[in-house]
Amino acid sequence: MSEPEYNFKAIEKNAQDFWESNKSFEVEPDPKKEKFYCLSMFPYPSGQCHMGHVRNYTIGDVISRFQRLKGKNVLQPMGWDAFGLPAENAAIENKVSPKEWTEKNILEMKKQLKSLGFAYDWRRELKTCSEDYYQWEQWLFCKLYEKGLVIREEAEVNWDPVDKTVLANEQVIEGKGWRSGAEVEKKIINQWSFKITNYADELLDGLDHLTGWPEQVKLMQKNWIGKSKGVLFEFLSTESDKIEAFTTRPDTIMGVTFMALSFSHEIVRREVETNKELAKWIKKNSRVKKAEADLTKQEKKGFKLKIKAIHPISKREIDIWVANFVLSDYGSGALMGVPGHDQRDFEFAKSNNIEIIQVIDDGAGLKDKFDHAITEKGVIVNSDNLNGLSSEEAFSILTKENELNFQGKEKINFRLRNWGVSRQRNWGAPIPMFISSKETKKVLPFNVLEEDQISKNEIEVDGIHYLKEKDTFDTFVESSWYYARFASYRSENSMVDSEADYWLPVDQYIGGIEHAILHLLYSRFFCKVMNDLSLIKIREPFTNLLCQGMVLKDGSKMSKSKGNTVNPNDLIKKYGADTVRLFSMFAAPPEQSLEWSDSGVNGSYKFIKKLWSLSQKLISQKVISKETTKDFSNIFIKLNQTIKKVSEDFENKNQFNTAIASVMELLNAIPKDFLNPEISKENHKTFRLIIENSIVMLSPIIPHVCHELWLKLGKKTFIHNESWPDFDASNLLGNEITIAIQINGKLRGKIQVETTSDEQAIIDQSLQLENVKKYLEKESIKKTIYVPQKLVNFVI
C-alpha cells in the first residue's frame, strides 16, 4: 500500500480553515500566564507582499509560535500603515480616491498574509487611515499643545521638490528625499512641531537600558541625538547684531578669523531682502547635502557680507560669510571659523584666501605653512593671556569670570531638533487646529471647539476669523503609537485602556534597521509622553529588537526596476507556504541578508516531503514482539542533543537556520532499521519520539504540515497548543565521543574514544594517527594540552 502524497494545497487550506474557525490565535489577558507580545513593523499597503515582507513576518510568526509552545500567552497582531504619499500618487494616476485604492490593497495583502499561515489575532487589525484610529492621535496632539510640547514656528525646512512636501531631518538620506530620491531644498515655512528635544537627555540615557537592542541601532540613535558639551560665545556685528556661536573647542577662540552663517540665520534673512545677489546665490546653492558626513565632502561655498563681526576678546573685525556647510538646525546656525584647527574651516579659508592662525601646539611646534588643520588638542599659543594653558584648562577659564573681561556660557547642545510634523498632502491625518486668518500665532485646537465647528473649514470665535489647518500629519505620527492601540483594541472612549497595562511593553519587535532614527526614535518619544499623561505605565516601548537583513537576488536588493523580484504568490502556488517559510528561515540568520536561491527553495520542499514520508512510515508500521539485537542508544542521545541545541537556538539566539539544520541532521541519522514495515516495540517507541519531537520543533516554522501530521499520528490535541520538548540531561553523551587532534593549534585528525577513557589513554591513541606521526617524526613535543572530551593539542 503506497503512502499518501504530500498535498500541500489541501493540507494548508485545512490548517488555515481550522485556525480561523477555532479562533486559535485570539488572546485575552490572563494574569495566571506569562505574557509575550511579539510585533513586526506593520506594512504600508502597496498591494502586493514582497519577499522582504514574507521574511519579516515569518520571523515574527516563528518567534510567536515558539513562545506559545513555551506556555506563554502570546499576542501577535497585524495592521496597516495606511496613509502616505504613494497611495495619493497612485490614486491620481488610476483616477480613484486614495481611500478606495488603499482599501483594495489591504484586502489583497491580507489575503496573502493569511495564505502564509501567520498566527495573528485578526480582531485587533487596525488601519491608520481610519478615523477611529487617528482621532486619538489628534486628541493627543491637542493635549501636548496644552502642555507646551507642540509648537507652531517659522523654520527652515527640508523641501522635497518632487513630492512637494516637508521632510523631517531623519527623512533626508544623503541629501535626498527618503521616498522620491529627489535632492532636498531649503525652504522657510510655518509648521507644527513636537518638542522631542525636551526629552533628548532621557532618550539618550535610556539607550543604556535597552540591553535587548542591537548595538548598531543604539549607536545610530546616540549619534543622531548628538549630545555635546561646549561653550556659547557671543560676537557683535558692526551693525550691533548679536551672533551666538556654539563650539566644542573654546580653546581655539583666538584662532577665529571669520564667521559663517546658515541660509536661514536671521541676519541672512534680513540681508536677503535688500541684496539681490545674495538671494540669487542662496537659491542656486539651496540644494545642499544634509548629512554632516556629506557636508565635509562637498565643495565649501560662501558669500561674503558687507557687515563684519567683532571678535569678543581681541576686538578685531572679521568677515561674515553665508556658507553652504553651516547647519541651520545645529546650535544657532552660526559658527566661528577656525581654519587652523578645523578641516572644514581650513578648506573654506584656503579657497577664499582667509587668514589661518595656529593657536594650538599639538607637540609638533609652530608651523609657517599649513597643508591641513591641526585638530588635536594641546597647549595654547598665539592667544595672549591664554598662552601656555592646556585645552582643558582653557575650557574652564573661558566659562568663568576671568581677567579677559569676557565670559562664554557653558552649554550642552543636541544635534536632535524638534520633530516637524506638517505635511502638505491630502491623504493623511488632519492636523487638529484652526489658525487665525490675520495673525498666525492665534490658534484653536479641536478639543476647545464644538463638533459642528470642527466640521467646518472656516469659523469665527470671539470676533476672530479662523481657517482650518490644511496640512496633515507626517505618517510617522501614526506608527509611533500603534503598538499601544493593538493592546487595547476594544477601547472606544480612550486612546488606550487598561488592557495595555497587561500586554505592554512589546517583548519582541522586528523590523528594518533603516528605521533606527525614524520610527524607532519617535516611538520611544511617544511612549514617554503617553506615560507622562498617565495613558500607559511604561517608558520604553520595545524590550527586544531584531533587525532583519534584506532579501537579495543576484547580489542586490530585490526591486522591480532591477527586474530581480520573486513573487511570493507564485512560490506558494508551486511549493506551498511551508516551503516558502522554511527557505526564508533556513537560508541565513535573521539579522543577515538572505541571498535568493531557486535550488534552496527546492531543497526546502524536498525536506518537508522527507518529513512527510518518515511520518507516513511511522504511521503505517506494524509493531512486532520480536526484540531488537542492535544497540540504537546513540540515536536517542542524538535526539536529546538536538532538542537541547534547537532550544538554545530558538530561546537565546533566534538562530532558526542552525535549529533547522540540527533537525535535518537528526532525521538523517535515523537508522535504516527504523524504516522497515515491521519494527520492534522498543525501536518503534524511539522512532516515534524522534518524529513527534521533530514535528513540535519544526511547527513554528512549517506549521501547516506539522498540524496535519500531528493529527495523523493520532494526537487528540493540536500542535499549536502543545508544549516545547524537554531534553534528558543524562542522555546527552553517548558511549563514544569525538576528540579533535591538533598540532600547534591546527587540526590534524580526529579519534573516537569511549566516554570513560582517561586522559593518558586518549593521548596514547592520538599519537597512533598516521597524520600525527608524520608531523612528529622529526619534532619533539614541548607541551601536551588536553581539553576533556574535546581535544588534544601537541605543541612542538
Q: In what order do the strands lie in the sheet with 433-436?
A: 443-445, 433-436, 464-468, 458-461
CB count in 10 Å sphere of residue 451 = 7
The tens digit of pLDDT for each residue in 51-66 reads: 999 999 999 999 999 9
Distance, C-alpha 752 to centroid of its chain = 46
Rounded to whole angstroms, how far apart are CA atoms 698 and 720? 11
- Confidence (pLDDT) at 253: 96
Query: Whose CA is closest to 576, among 664, 704, 667, 695?
Result: 704
Among 18-27, 271-280, 552-561, whose mean pLDDT is lowest? 552-561
- Confidence (pLDDT) at 169: 74
CB count in 10 Å sphere of residue 485 = 22
- Confidence (pLDDT) at 748: 92
Query: Whose CA is closest to 150, among 515, 428, 411, 446?
Result: 446
The tens digit of pLDDT for each residue in 309-365 reads: 999 999 999 999 999 999 877 778 999 999 999 999 999 999 999 999 999 999 888
Rounded to whole angstroms, how far apart are CA atoms 480 and 221? 16
Say which residue the cell 600547534 belongs to.
744
What would the mean pLDDT of 358-386 be, rounded to a whole number?
92
- Confidence (pLDDT) at 111: 97
Q: Residue 756: is its pLDDT beyond 70? A: no
Q: Which among 117-121, 416-420, 589-593 has the top mean pLDDT?
A: 117-121
Does 705 or 633 have the greater pLDDT score?
705
Q: How confident is the model at residue 729 (pLDDT cuts 50, 70, 90)?
A: confident
The DSSP result for 727-777, as a single string, is: P-GGGSS-SEEEEEEEETTEEEEEEEEETT--HHHHHHHHTT-HHHHHHHT
pTM: 0.87
Query: Whose CA is closest to 581, among 122, 82, 57, 109?
Result: 57
**CB contact burial 555-593 (16+ within 10 A = b; e otherwise):** eeebeeeeeebbebeebbeebbbbbbbbbbbbbbbbeee
Q: How is residue 355 written as a grid cell? A: 587668514
Rounded to whole angstroms, how far apart are CA atoms 311 and 255? 10
CA distance to 609, 634, 734, per residue, from 671 (Å) = 18, 10, 16
Rounded to whole angstroms, how far apart are CA atoms 685 and 648? 26
Rounded to whole angstroms, how far apart are CA atoms 507 and 483? 11
| 35: three-class secondary structure by DSSP | strand
Among 445-449, 490-494, 607-611, 626-630, whose mean pLDDT is lowest? 626-630
For residue 792, what are the β-bridge partners?
741, 786
H helical segments located in 533-632: 568-575, 577-586, 598-620
Rounded to whole angstroms, how far apart are CA atoms 334 and 264? 10
What one-letter code names the amino acid at 449? L
Question: Which H/E stretch holds residue 154?
Answer: strand 150-160
Q: Residue 16: is its pLDDT beyond 60? A: yes
CB count in 10 Å sphere of residue 543 = 17
Rounded to whole angstroms, how far apart are CA atoms 232 and 658? 55
Q: Residue 407: is its pLDDT beyond 80? A: no
Say which residue the cell 565649501 belongs to.
300
The tens digit of pLDDT for each residue in 244-269 reads: 999 999 999 999 999 999 998 999 99
Q: Residue 296: is its pLDDT beyond 70? A: no
- CB neighbour list of residue 51: distance below 8 Å, 6 or more residues apart: 551, 558, 565, 566, 568, 584, 596
Angle CA(595)–CA(598)–CA(600) in degrees, nearest 5? 70
Q: What radius of gyration do the chain's Cα atoms show? A: 34
The tens digit of pLDDT for each residue in 512-523 reads: 999 999 999 999
CB count in 10 Å sphere of residue 79 = 26
Instruction: Report whether 251 contacts 263 (CB < 8 A).
Output: no
CA distance to 8, 584, 592, 646, per residue, from 55 (Å) = 20, 6, 11, 20
Q: Residue 47: is its pLDDT beyond 90? A: no
- Confidence (pLDDT) at 171: 80
Q: How is residue 223 written as a grid cell? A: 549619534
CA distance to 231, 401, 407, 526, per residue, from 396 (Å) = 10, 10, 10, 38
Phi/psi region, residue 72 (left: phi>0; alpha: psi -120 to 50; beta: rest), is beta
- Confidence (pLDDT) at 402: 56
Q: For residue 310, what is the DSSP state? A: E
What would the mean pLDDT of 693-705 be, rounded to a whole number?
99
What would the mean pLDDT of 269-285 be, rounded to a whole number?
94
- Confidence (pLDDT) at 450: 94
What are the chain's domains?
Answer: 35-138+475-562 (3.40.50.620), 139-195+418-473 (no CATH), 227-414 (3.90.740.10), 576-731 (1.10.730.10), 736-795 (3.10.20.590)
Q: How is residue 216 written as a grid cell? A: 548598531
- CB neighbour list of residue 277: distance below 8 Å, 6 or more residues apart: 303
Q: How confident is the model at residue 747 (pLDDT cuts 50, 70, 90)?
A: very high
Q: In what order do the strands lie in the sheet with 594-595?
A: 556-557, 551-553, 594-595
Does 298 or 363 have the greater pLDDT score?
363
- Confidence (pLDDT) at 1: 53
Residue 167's Cβ-count burial label (10 Å; 0-12, 13-18, 19+) is buried
Angle CA(87)–CA(93)–CA(95) in degrees, nearest 5? 95
Rounded to whole angstroms, how far apart are CA atoms 547 and 512? 5
Q: Residue 160: is its pLDDT beyond 70? A: yes
Rounded to whole angstroms, how far apart are CA atoms 716 and 739? 44
Instruction: Report whether 507 contacts 36 (CB < 8 A).
Output: yes
Instruction: Report whether 33 contacts 71 (CB < 8 A).
Output: yes
Q: How is residue 623 written as a grid cell? A: 509493531
Query: Whose CA is closest to 605, among 632, 629, 580?
Result: 580
Q: How confident is the model at residue 752 (pLDDT cuts 50, 70, 90)?
A: confident
Rounded to whole angstroms, how far apart are CA atoms 4 and 613? 9
Q: How is residue 276 written as a grid cell? A: 539681490
Q: How is residue 139 written as a grid cell? A: 486628541
The tens digit of pLDDT for each residue in 458-474 reads: 999 999 999 999 999 99
